[in-house]
Structure formats: C-alpha cells, structure tokens
Amino acid sequence: MEGTVKWFNSRKGFGFVKGDDDEDYFVHYTALDKGTFIRDNDRVSFDAADTDKGKQAQNVKLLQKGSEIAGDQAEEQPQEEAKTEEPQEDSESFGEEQPVEEIEDNKE
C-alpha cells in the first residue's frame, strides 16, 4: 500500500501515515528501512497490519520526499504576482523630522 506521512516525530521515533485507503496507520521507527528518515508529507509504501493496538504500517519505504512533491505542485500552479503595499505615513512615528523651532521650544 502507499500513503503520505501525516507527521513523524524523529525524537520519539513514531508518527502516522495516511494510507491511500484514507485510514491512519501508526508507524514506529523500527518499521523503516535502516538509514531511512521520513518527514511530514513524504510519500511512502508500506505493508498494512491490523494489530491488537490498531492499524500499523510495517516495512515502510520512502518513495518521494514531501518537498519534492510540493515542488512538483508549485510548477503546475500559476504563480501570483507579489503584492506590495506602500508604507503608511504616521504623524507620530518615531524619528519624524520636526522643524528646528519646535525642537528649540521643547528644550525649554
């Protein structure tokens, strides 16, 4: 079966994969090929197992990194033009220039 990593906490060594059957599967780091690291949104293949603790992914293999998938989708979608806004003028902004007369009056 194939699916997408919903989340995986590498410090704790577990996470969940959403299978293409729309079911969630628990995945433990021991189910990964040696030297394989998975991250959120990675595409993986796995053997689905029903255990007394629930659905689990076993023999998990990385198919495609999530960042590569996002890159593919970005190429397909038209890019929007960047929108910029002019800075707002604030009469009480810090560092505003004041006429010399006002500065002299404030010193007294």
Whether 26 is in a domain gets the answer: yes
Return the SS3 of 57. Answer: strand
- Residue 53, in any domain of the structure: yes
Residues near 27 by Cβ (< 8 Å), separated by ≥ 6? 5, 8, 14, 15, 16, 17, 38, 46, 56, 57, 60
Classify residue 90: in a domain, yes or no: no
- 98 pLDDT above the threshold of 60: no
Is the separation of the CB atoms in 19 and 48 below 8 Å? yes
Residue-averaged pLDDT of the chain: 79
Query: 44-72: per-residue pLDDT in tens?
Result: 999 999 999 999 999 999 999 987 766 65
Range of the domain at 42: 2-67
Q: Is the residue at 97 inside a domain?
A: no
Is 24 inside a domain boundary?
yes
Q: What is the pLDDT of residue 66?
A: 84
In CATH, what number is assigned to the domain containing residue 60?
Answer: 2.40.50.140
**Mean pLDDT value across residues 18-46:** 95
pTM as predicted: 0.62
Domain presence at residue 39: yes
What pLDDT is recorded for position 33?
A: 85
Q: Tally the domains of the chain.
A: 1
